[in-house]
Structure 1
Amino acid sequence: MTDLTRFSGKVALITGGGTGIGAASARRISAEGGRVVVMGRRESPLRRVAEECGGHFVVGDTASLVDLDRAVSEAVALYGGLDVLVANAGIELFGSVETVSIEDWRRVFEVNLEGAMLACRAAVPAMRKRGGGAIVLVASVASLFGAPSYVPYLTTKAGLLGLNRSIAYDYGPEGIRCNALCPGWVKTEMAERALAGIAAQKGLEESAFSEAIVKVYPLKRMAMPDEIAAIVAFLCSADSSFMTGSVVTADGGGSVVDVGTLQFASNE
């Protein structure tokens, strides 16, 4: 059951807030009484989410500290401070160490890892003025396991787990918590692009490939963005007040599957 007051008096900045997990998180925090600022590169979806939430949007690049500082400044000017950061912005490009272009490698690092670090760098001083805060780094189960020709994405998402531990250690004494969330497959625009790309590489139909992926999940399906947003809201709220430096997995049970035993499982 949604607590309509859990974020009363709280202000949240959400990067990558125009679609998918970011947009769903903005709606969830707003529904629970928070004020939200969503940031991203595309104005149209950001405007739509901000209007739905009665919040504010900032067009900017999470790889730019100037843009992030501006987003934090606008949150403080409009709503009086900043209590929550959801570092959700990310991109997904493919390749092995031999095939990925250096330009793609660097861009994924700029957005997924350096962008998250810069978002925290911009947010922490404002949180300090409020006496504490909560940060959620949206990583991925890709930070925990391997996948073919996925080297830039896997490497950056694994890096977020190190960033998570460092922030938790450095800023815990100031009441600033940081936790990482590792979703599995979620029905978002980015997931659809990734599935299409992988399916094309394998010469498979996208729908058949999607079905094959979730077939090994005990829950037999992908997550909806709202389901992941509920976990984001928990990690941002006082309900998780003794959690910091944690890594939370939400993957439909995929990480408990021993793929070596799948050949013995009956077809369903």
Structure 2
Amino acid sequence: MTRYAGKTAIITGAGTGIGAAIAERFAEEGGNVILTGRRAAPLDAVAARTGGVAVAGDASDGAHMSGLVDLARDRFGGLDVMVCNAGGFGFGTLTETGEEDWSNAVQANLTTAYASARAALPALTERRGNVLMMASIAGLAAGPEACGYVTMKHGLLGLAKSIARDFGPQGVRCNAICPGWVRTEMADMEMAELMERKGLATVDEAYALVTRDVPLRQPADGADVAAAAAFLCSDEARMITGSILTVDGGAIIVDVPTLAF
């Protein structure tokens, strides 16, 4: 498929996990990808695989993101897609979440998306492009001991809807993906904690435990989320905006009170 031939995407948090998978998928479909994240080494590795351009930096820094938009214009003629994938932090209950923890969660999840989309919108308007927010099913329901993360992912969906409403008349779309469990380095770290708590022997056992009540009984991988992203950001989805797509094996549809049956 060549849905992205002649098109350019900026992807934040692109060095590992979902961001790297999206970069690979867009490049496979003919797109130019500009990759950013805090760590240069993994970005360079993804750039080598995709033929992309890696620029290490902080996605919450508006000047950094504006520089990437300028790079897209100078090198590739414009910008078509901004993927706001950077995120993290915000774990613990409310009383366990100090002011610094809260600020870190805001910056990692909301400020990165705000700065990225704000920098990109003038260029996206020129090409009738789109923004993709990488949220989470934590933006639709509350998991335990993740007060900051849950709150920020809920906020991210509000930001996506606001952009869709305000910039739709200019031809810009904005959608959000809400993944469930996805096999990534960050999720593997959470599985390691679960293994210790439950006395499990392998990571596979941990993933099986957290997905035992998920209809498809398995976690996604980065390629699953990237496939959804490739569709939502393509011209095939030209009439889809302000939408939330879950990639969660059906987790969010489960009626928790009926699990005993």
Establish whether TM, by shorter chain, passes 0.5. Answer: yes
5+ unaligned residues in a row in structure 1: which ranges?
none
Q: Give, as a single letter, the amino acid of the residue that structure 2 aligns with 1:190.
A: M
Q: Equivalent residue of 1:215, what SS?
A: coil
Match of 2:232 among 224, 232, 235: 235
Find the counterpart in structure 2 of residue 167 from structure 1. 163
CA RMSD across the alignment: 1.5
CA distance in 1, matches of 2:174, 2:11: 14
Q: 1:220 to 1:248 in 2, by over 3 A?
A: same
Contact 1:134 1:235 in 2 (8 A): no
Q: CA deviation at 1:198?
A: 5.4
CA distance in 1, matches of 2:189, 2:72: 31
Match of 2:40 among 40, 43, 50: 43
Establish whether residue 215 from structure 1 lines up as the match of residue 230 from structure 2.
Answer: no
For residues 207-243 of structure 1, give each alpha carbon's deviation from its aligned partner in whole angstroms, at most 9, with x where no partner exists: 4443211111111110010011000010100010000
Q: How many residues align?
A: 259
Contact 1:127 1:176 in 2 (8 A): yes
CA distance in 2, matches of 1:252, 1:92: 24
CA distance in 1, matches of 2:108, 2:229: 20
Structure-to-structure mapping, 1:1-268, within 5 angstroms: 3=1, 5-130=2-127, 132-197=128-193, 202=197, 204-205=199-200, 207=203, 208-264=205-261
Q: Give, as a single letter, the amino acid of the residue that structure 1 aligns with 2:154.
A: A
Normalising to structure 1: TM-score of the pair?
A: 0.92
Q: Give, as a single letter, the amino acid of the residue that structure 1 aligns with 2:214.
A: Y
Q: 1:233 to 1:168 in 2, by over 3 A?
A: same
Q: Give, as a single letter, the amino acid of the residue that structure 2 aligns with 1:227.
A: D
User: Percent identity among equivalent residues?
Assistant: 45
Normalising to structure 2: TM-score of the pair?
A: 0.95
Contact 1:92 1:194 in 2 (8 A): no
